[in-house]
Amino acid sequence: MPLTDLRPSRPPSTVDYLAEELRAAIMRGELAPGEQLGEAELATRFEVSRGPVREALQRLVSEGILHAVRNRGVFVTELTLDDVLDVYRTRSVIERGAVELILDDETPAASGREETYRALGPSVAAMRAAAERGDASAVSDADQEFHEVLVECSGSPRLIRAMRTLLVETRMCLGELVTTYADLRTQASEHETLREAIRSGDTARTKALMLEHMADAVSRLVDKRAPA
């Protein structure tokens, strides 16, 4: 490649930086659903003017992560039960598609069952360790990592891109879901079973387990939100 074709990487703009920081804070649960975000407070916190803060907030509003209420302000989006159901239905389609590609020997870009099995190992180990020490937040983090890695192993840029659009909403759901397990080791065991199924190469069984896994998550969330 000629040197004239090389370009230095562009540093992120202030707006990009603020949007990413706020997005990450929502994903980590540091900004709770329904929480109001004030321009002045954020500008002070990040030591920037209110203009970039306003643009960053508007960007996240357009992504559906935040929502604006006229004459009241900007708030972290609260997912309705219909939103939760849609997130998990969409994830189920994406992840079962990823399984098909991973276990299809004629898909050159996919990692393959043994490579995927190894790639999922660290997240399963992290989930098991977090469950043993009762760290629900860390279990939730490892849960998300497992499913992200699974889709990445499909080698499909479009599946990966589709999954990434759900990351924030998925993380918000996981934060709520993890409290539905009386024993966190149950959540870790479900992922160990999925990992072993992938290694077996049985596409039908793996897809069925994935569907069951997603259906169980939805059932737990529905039960949690049911009136007492």
Same domain, 38 and 85: no
Same domain, 27 and 107: no
Is residue 9 assigned to a domain?
no
Same domain, 70 and 106: no
Is residue 6 assigned to a domain?
no
Which pLDDT belongs to residue 3?
A: 47
Question: What range does the domain containing 61 cover?
Answer: 14-76
Which pLDDT belongs to residue 1?
A: 42
Is residue 45 assigned to a domain?
yes
Same domain, 110 and 212: yes
Q: Looking at per-residue confidence, does 226 or 47 come out higher?
A: 47
Which pLDDT belongs to residue 83?
A: 87
Q: Give 67's strand partners.
A: 75
CA–CA separation, 64 and 147 (whole Å): 22
Give the model confidence (pLDDT) of 24-82 as tens digits. Answer: 788 777 888 899 999 999 999 999 999 999 999 999 998 888 999 998 999 998 888 88
Same domain, 121 and 201: yes
Q: Looking at per-residue confidence, does 121 or 63 come out higher?
A: 121
Give the model confidence (pLDDT) of 132-150 as tens digits. Answer: 999 887 888 899 899 999 9
Which pLDDT belongs to residue 146?
A: 96
CA–CA separation, 145 and 156 (whole Å): 17
Same domain, 197 and 220: yes
Question: Average pLDDT of the chain?
Answer: 88
Tell which residue, 207, 82, 66, 183, has the closest CA to residue 127.
183
Is residue 1 assigned to a domain?
no
From edge to edge, which strands make up the β-sheet containing 66-69?
36-37, 73-76, 66-69
Quick one: what percent of the chain has pLDDT higher than 70? 93
As a whole number, mean pLDDT of residues 5-22 equals 77
Same domain, 96 and 155: yes
Task: Provide the CATH number for the domain around residue 218.
Answer: 1.20.120.530
Among residues 43, 76, 109, which one ends one of the domains? 76
Least confident of 66-70, 172-176, 194-198, 218-222: 172-176
Same domain, 98 and 127: yes
State the pLDDT confidence band at 155, using cuts at 50, 70 and 90. very high
Is residue 99 assigned to a domain?
yes
Among residues 60, 76, 92, which one ends one of the domains? 76
Which pLDDT belongs to residue 5?
A: 54
Q: Looking at per-residue confidence, does 25 or 103 come out higher?
A: 103
Is residue 18 assigned to a domain?
yes
Quick one: what percent of the chain has pLDDT higher than 90? 59
Among residues 46, 76, 106, which one ends one of the domains? 76
Burial 18-33 (b: 16+ CB within 10 A, else e): bbeebbeebbebebee
Tokens in use for 175? 């934060």
Same domain, 170 and 62: no
Is residue 103 assigned to a domain?
yes
Q: How many domains is the chain partitioned into structurally?
A: 2
Residue 180 has pLDDT above 60, yes or no: yes
